[in-house]
Structure 1
Amino acid sequence: MTIQLPTKSFFIPQPPDDREIFWAMQRYPDNVKVYHPHGSIDGTSVFWHNRLWPNILFFAVYVDPKAMDRHFLFHRILDDLTKLAGKFSDKHLVTSDYDPQHDFNQWLHQQGFTLMDKVHCATLNPDGLSITTQNFPTSTQELTVSEALNHPELLSQLLTMSWQAYRDNHPSLSPATVSTHDWQALLLPELVSDIPSLLVNDSGNLIAISLLAKSAQTAGKLWLVNESTPGAANRLFANQVTWLKSYQRSLSICLPQVTLKLLGLTEQMAMLKTTTYENFLQ
Structure 2
Amino acid sequence: MKIAIAGASGLIGSALVPVLTGRGHDVLRLVRRSPSAPDECNWDPAAGTLDRGALDGVDAIVNLAGATIGQRWSQSARERILSSRVQTTRLLAETAAASSPHPALVLASAVGFYGDRGDEELTEDSDRGTGFLADVCEAWEAAAEPARAAGTRTVHLRQGIVLSADGGALAKLLTPFKFGAGGRVGSGDQYWAWVSLDDVVAAYTWALESDASGPVNVVAPQQVTNAEFTKTLGRVLGRPTAIPLPAFAVRTMFGTMGEEMLLGGQRAVPARLQDARFAFAHPDLESGLRAALD
TM-score, scaled relative to structure 1: 0.29
**Structure with the higher helix share, 1 or 2:** 2
- Higher gyration radius (CA): 1
TM-score normalised according to structure 2 size: 0.28
User: Bigger relative contact order, structure 1 or 2, given CA contacts below 8 A and separation 6+?
Assistant: 1
